[in-house]
Homo-oligomer: A and B are copies of this chain.
Amino acid sequence: MAGILCAMRISQLSAESGVPIPTIKYYLREGLLPPGEQTSATRAEYGQTHLRRLRLIRALLEVGRLPVASIRKVIDAVDDEELGVHEMLGTAHYALSPAMEEHEETPEWQQARELVDRLIADYGWNINPAAPAREELAQTIVTLRRLGVEPTMADLTPYATAAQTLVSTHELHKIPFDAPRETMVEAHVIGTVMYGRVLDAVRRLAEESESARMLGVDG
């Protein structure tokens, strides 16, 4: 098996990865997958690098639901060995952020951003000024205010504390920092997206149960 994995024909690469041959050929044409080693005019061989790369593309596509242009950016960051691991993971992280609607620069946006900045400062977080999550949080604050709900620092801190605990004691430790670059990015993408869904689902379960408890409903 190890022998086969070291040098595979495209049919074996397809069988091992679960990615159909036409899709593999498409990734080769698009440059997302590096070419195999040409052993004759009609035969190329593929290896572990290709398998890892296909796993990453699949995670970005199926889990991250990223368009090919965004996948290319992430792959470029993986291939750029001069780029540090933090910046490489950040490229994937930013690509996964929800798209923001355009908006005018109003005083309510400035106030929302000030609240975000204060939260980041209070937690001592080290965040790039261009991080999309800053704008996401500001946008949510603006929307809440328009709905007549005025979020204060005291409303945000329980969420920030919960996130901080989850991330520092659990989430980041799942990334295999000694693995190849593709594997690190793949683990980061899966962790960010899928455990985001886990968190959303368990929060809904906890809400239902707590509502039943507070309102004295039997199960």
Question: In the complex, A149→B171 CA distance in Å?
Answer: 14
Cβ of A205 to closest chain B Cβ, rounded Å: 5
Q: Which residue of B lies closest to A195 (CB)?
A: B159
What are the residues of chain B within 8 A of A151 when measuring CB–CB?
A: 198
What are the residues of chain B within 8 A of A44 when measuring CB–CB?
A: none
User: Contact mask A136-153 → B, CB, 8 Å, 1/0?
Assistant: 110010011001110100
Cβ of A89 to closest chain B Cβ, rounded Å: 6
What are the residues of chain B within 8 A of A143 when measuring CB–CB?
A: 63, 194
What are the residues of chain B within 8 A of A160 when measuring CB–CB?
A: 202, 205-206
Across the interface, A198 reaches (CB within 8 A) one of B90, B120, B137, B213, namely: B137
Stretch at the interface among A1-9, A34-42, A73-81, A125-133: A125-133
Contact A204–B97 (Cβ < 8 Å): yes
Contact A93–B204 (Cβ < 8 Å): yes
Question: Which residue numbers of A lie inside 8 Å of B, CB to CB?
Answer: 55, 58-59, 63, 84-86, 89-90, 93, 97, 119-120, 123-128, 131-134, 136-137, 140, 143-144, 147-149, 151, 156, 158-160, 162-172, 177, 190, 192, 194-215, 217-219
Closest 9 CB pairs of A and B: A133-B204, A125-B209, A126-B219, A137-B201, A167-B206, A163-B203, A136-B201, A162-B162, A163-B202
